Amino acid sequence: MSKRIFSGAQPTGQLHIGNYLGALKNWVALQDAYECFYCIVNLHAITLPQEPATLKKATLDLARIYLAAGVDPERSTIFIQSDVPQHAELAWVLSCIARMGELERMTQFKDKGKGNAERAGVGLFTYPILMASDILLYQTDLVPVGQDQKQHLELSRDLAERFNRDYGETFKVPEPYIPKAGASIKSLQDAEKKMSKSDENPAGSIFLLDDADTITKKIKRAVTDSGVGVEFDETRPAINNLLIIYQLVTDKTADECVAHFEGKMYGQFKTELAEAVVEFLRPFQERVKQYDDTTLREILDRGAERARSEASRTLKDVYSRTGIN
């Protein structure tokens, strides 16, 4: 039997090309070798305030984006977290074995809670437990995540091991799967920062649904480094980042990219980069439009049904081992 993958993204903010190249592209490729579960984690989204109508729309839009990127509902299970009540149920059980101390060490809570624990929501604090629940319900082997989620995954592993030790072998202990290339695309406005959904400055990100004009403008205005030559060079992080984007959207090798731009100036490079990004996103943007709400709902209902059947098996086992049922 093939190994199982679980991953998820929150339906908040607009997805950008860094999400696509760092995560989605990889999710799509993994379908060839693994049994994949891809979740839209709307329960995670409300750990910070959300406008209800916006959240609802963003949840379906994110499903559209998964599908348009190439997540194939015939091969993979794509579903909305809240359609599978076992996520919240297991999270409660896990919260009873998790420790305050280990959650207090989560760096993302400190960032998102702005260091003010008095004012931060309890859900924001226990967020990593819900994430552990997502992963452990499906007896997941591998979890493709960015560097920023590694600590949360470590907690998932600790909780699985603790439960197994206290109540008997119940959960598979998941491994992180950190992709090599494209793991971290930087902001177009500040190459020291990750391209981020929560960046207040939209000029730093190329959103997946940006039109050709907007993309071209953002790339033209992207910061560059002093110096000349279009090369992979970590000491010139801005050009380096743009060249990585070029490489990923064109699927060329690093050598091909360097050879292609040899002797060319930044201006010429940016023009070609903008064209390449627009071409890359065009078919994707066409596909996004194909999924009307009815088709989408059908796909998500099927996904949820399949997810529930897996998740309920694990939860039954958990309840019976803990003497709940």
Active centre residues (catalytic): 112, 194, 197
Among 10, 42, 76, 247, binds ligand TRP (CB under 6 A): 10
Site string for ligand TRP, 145-184 (x = CB under 6 A): x---x--x--------------------------------
Identify the CA nearest to 20 among candidates 71, 54, 59: 71
| Residue with Cβ nearer ligand TRP (198 or 235) | 198
Identify the CA nearest to 209 among candidates 56, 40, 69: 69
Q: Which stretch binds ligand TRP (CB under 6 A): 131-139, 244-252, 280-288, 312-320?
A: 131-139
Residue 15 interacts with ligand TRP (CB under 6 A): yes or no: no
- Cα–Cα distance between 299 and 215 in angstroms, integer? 31
Closest separation between CB of residue 132 and ligand TRP, Å? 8
Among 24, 28, 63, 135, binds ligand TRP (CB under 6 A): 135
In sequence order, which ranges of the chain are alpha helices (DSSP H)?
Answer: 17-19, 25-30, 42-45, 52-69, 86-95, 100-104, 107-112, 122-137, 150-167, 212-220, 237-250, 254-261, 266-290, 293-322
Identify the CA nearest to 310 among candidates 90, 67, 65, 11: 90
Residue 185 interacts with ligand TRP (CB under 6 A): yes or no: no
Tokens 């603790």, located at residue: 162
Task: Give the three-class secondary structure for 246.
Answer: helix
Residue 47 interacts with ligand TRP (CB under 6 A): yes or no: no
Task: Give the three-class secondary structure for 39.
Answer: strand
Q: Which stretch binds ligand TRP (CB under 6 A): 4-12, 56-64, 91-99, 237-245?
A: 4-12
Among 35, 61, 89, 134, binds ligand TRP (CB under 6 A): 134
Residue 219 interacts with ligand TRP (CB under 6 A): yes or no: no
Among 7, 19, 47, 76, binds ligand TRP (CB under 6 A): 7
Residue 307 interacts with ligand TRP (CB under 6 A): yes or no: no
Q: List b or e across 214-232, with b for residues whose CB sees 16 or more CB atoms inside 10 angstroms.
A: ebbebbeebbbbeeeebee
Applying CB under 6 A, the residues found at the interface with ligand TRP are 6-10, 41, 44, 131, 134-135, 143, 145, 149, 152
